[in-house]
Amino acid sequence: MIVFEHVKKTFKSKNNIVSAINDVSLTIEDGEIFGLVGQSGAGKSTLLRTINQLEKIDSGSILVNGVDVSTLKGKALRDFRKGIAMIFQHFSIMETQTVYQNIALPLVCEHWKRKDIDARVHELAEIVGLTEKLQSKPRELSGGQKQRVAIARSLALNPKILLCDEATSALDPITTDSILDLLKKINKDLGITIIIVTHQMEVIKSACKRIAILKDGNLLEVGETDDLFLSSSSALKTLVVEDEIVPTTGKNIKLYFPKTCTAESIITKMARDLNCDFSIVWGKLEKFQELVLGTLIINVSEENFDRVIEYLGKTDVRVEIIEGGDR
Amino acid sequence: MSLKTYITEYLGKYLLTTLEMVGITLLIGAVIGTILGSLLYITRKSKKKWVQVLYKVLDFIVGLIRSFPFYILIFVLLPFTRLLGLRAMSNEGFIVPLTIAAIPFIGKIIEGSLIEVNEGVVEAATSLGLSPWQIITRVVLREALPSIVSGITLSLITLIGYSAMSGAVGADSLGSFAYNFGMISYDTAAMLYAVGTIVILVVLVQTIGNFIYKLVK
C-alpha cells in the first residue's frame, strides 16, 4: 500500500517558485492498476517520482508498505529502490548493450551467479515476449520492443510495485495496446501494483481501475475510472478535448448509460411513451477495461425539452444538458 | 638520402621509438584521463556546493595545463622529470611532458563523452538501485564507450603530432627525424620519407580506431 499524506513539493528556479505538488493525500492499494492523470505540468510525473525518491519532497510523508521513504538514505534507499520497478517514456535502455545485457544489468549488479542470471533473463524474456531478440542491440528493435526490454529489466529483481512514467506516450496506438496488455498481464499474474502516469485517455480507459486527476499540483478527484466518466466529472472534462459538433437549434442533451441499462430500449421507449420526435446527434461506446459504457447526444425541440428531462429523470440514465450548440 | 638507406637504417629505430613513447603515454594518459574525466563528470553533476567548487578548481587546473603551448610545457617540466629520477634529455624523459599534456586532454574528452550519455539511462539505473560506482562503471562508461574510442583515437593522433617536438630535448621520433635530417640538413627526400611514414601511421591509427568504434557501438 502506498499512502501519500499532505505531500508538498516546490521547484525553485532563479526567478520564481513553482508549486509542483500541493498538499496531495492519496492511498494506492496493493495489486491495483492506478492512474495518475492530468495535463502536462499537472505534477503527475513528479508525484510518481517521489515514490522511489527520484524526487525529494518538501513536506508531508509517503509510506510505501509502512516505510517512510523520505527518511531513506544511501544503501537503505538503494535496497528500497530494488523493490520498486520503473519504466519511462523514452525507454532508457542502454544502446550499446544487447537485450540480454540490458535485462541482466540489475542481476549482475547484485552479483548473481552467471547460471542464475542466464535462467532469470530467459524467464523474463519469456514474460515480455522477446526470447528471439536476446542478442539484438536496441537499435534493431521497434519502440514497443524497447519498452518490453525496459519492462523485463525492471522486473528482474521481483519488485512489488511498477511505476510507469508516460510509458506509452511515445508509442503508436496499436503498440500502446500491446504494452498495456502486457502490463495488465504482469499485474494479474505477478500481483504487482502498477501506477501509470499518463495523459492518454485510451490508457486510462483501458488499464486503470482507479485514477487520480491532478491539475497544477492539486489533486482534483480520485475514484473508479468508469464512475468518473459516467458522472461526467468536471475534473475529467479538463482532460478531454472533445469537439462535440451539435445542432444550434433546440436543446442538446447528453445521456450517459450506466452499466445496468442499454441505450436503444430507453430511447425508443421514450419516443413511444412521450409521442415526440427527437434527433440523435451522435453516440459512442467506450470500453473501460472489461466494461462497455455508452454516451448519446440527442436534440429535442424547446417545447418537448421539459418532458424529456422529466422522463429521463425516472431512469438510470445520467443526463447532461449541453449549453449552446455553437460553442 | 635514398629510400633504401631510410628504410634499412632509420625507419625501424625511429618508428619504434615513436610508437614506444606515444604508446606508453597513451596507456598512462588513458587510465588517469578516464579517472580524471569521470571525476569531472561526477563533480559537475553534483548539487552540493562544495563539490561544485571542487569541479571549478579541477576544471581550472585542466584548462591551465591544456592552454600551455606544448613546446613550452616540455621545458617547464624539465625539473619535474629529473625529480622523477628520469634523464630529462632522453626518450624516456620526453614521455613525462607528453603524458602531462595527454592527461587533461584525454580527461576533457572523456568528460565530454560521459556528458553525452542519455540522462534517462542514468535515471533508470538509479531507479534500479545501482550504487554511484556501479552507475559510472557499468552504465555511463559503457554507454559512452563508442564516443570514448573516437576520443582516444583523436588523442593518439594528436600525441603522434606532439611527438615531433621530441627533438627539443634530444629524443628521437619520426617527427624529430623529419626536422633534423630533413629541414636542418636540407635533405628534402629524408623529410618526405619521414612525413610519409607519419601519414601512413596516422591513417592506420584512424582506421583501427574506426574499426573498434564499430565493434563497441
pTM across the whole model: 0.83
Q: With CB atoms and an 8 Å threshold, state whether B142 touches A79.
A: no
* pLDDT for A254: 83
Q: Where are the domains of chain A?
A: 2-237, 251-322
Q: Above 0.85 for ipTM, yes or no?
A: no
Which residues are CB-contacts of A31 (< 8 A; sequence separation ≥ 6)?
Answer: A187, A191, A192, A193
pLDDT at A45 over 50: yes
**What percentage of chain A has pLDDT greater than the value 90?**
51
Taking the Cβ of residue B118 and every Cβ of chain A, the question of whether any pair is shorter than 8 Å is answered with yes
Contacts of B217 in chain A (CB under 8 A): 96
Radius of gyration for the alpha carbons in chain B, expressed in angstroms and rounded: 20
- Buried b / exposed e over B152-164, threshold 16 CB at 10 Å, is bbbbbbbbbebbb
Q: What does the block give as the cell for A184?
A: 495488465
Residues A38 and A213 sit within 8 Å (Cβ to Cβ): yes
Q: With CB atoms and an 8 Å threshold, state whether B124 touches A86.
A: yes
Q: Which pLDDT tens digit goes with each residue over A216-251? A: 888 988 988 888 877 766 777 767 655 567 777 888
Least confident of A194-198, A292-296, B12-16: A292-296
Contacts of A94 in chain B (CB under 8 A): 121, 139, 142-143
- CATH topology for A251-322 is Alpha-Beta Plaits (3.30.70)
Chains A–B, number of C-beta pairs less than 8 Å apart: 69
Nearest beta carbon to residue A92 from set B121, B129, B217: B121
Contacts of A97 in chain B (CB under 8 A): 142-143
Q: What does the block give as the cell for A219?
A: 489533486
Q: Which pLDDT tens digit goes with each residue over B94-153? A: 999 999 999 999 999 999 999 999 999 999 999 999 999 999 999 999 999 999 999 999
* pLDDT for A327: 40
Q: With CB atoms and an 8 Å threshold, state whether B146 touches A96.
A: yes
Give the DSSP H or E segment for A285: strand A279-288
* pLDDT for A260: 63
Q: With CB atoms and an 8 Å threshold, state whether B128 touches A95.
A: no
Q: What does the block give as the cell for A208?
A: 486503470
Taking the Cβ of residue B128 and every Cβ of chain A, the question of whether any pair is shorter than 8 Å is answered with yes
Residue of chain B with shortest Cα separation from A153 = B128
Which residues are CB-contacts of A14 (< 8 A; sequence separation ≥ 6)?
Answer: none
Which residues are CB-contacts of A24 (< 8 A; sequence separation ≥ 6)?
Answer: A4, A6, A7, A8, A43, A47, A60, A214, A217, A218, A219
Q: Where are the domains of chain B?
A: 3-216
* pLDDT for A231: 72
Nearest beta carbon to residue B127 from set A86, A108, A109: A86
Q: What does the block give as the cell for B106?
A: 584525454
- The residue ranking higher by pLDDT, A311 or A291, is A311
Instruction: Classify domain B3-216 by CATH number.
Output: 1.10.3720.10
CA distance B111 to chain A (A): 18
pLDDT at A326 over 50: no
Q: Which segments in chain B show pLDDT lower than 70?
A: none
Q: With CB atoms and an 8 Å threshold, state whether A81 touches B145.
A: no
So what's the architecture of A2-237 in CATH?
3-Layer(aba) Sandwich (3.40)
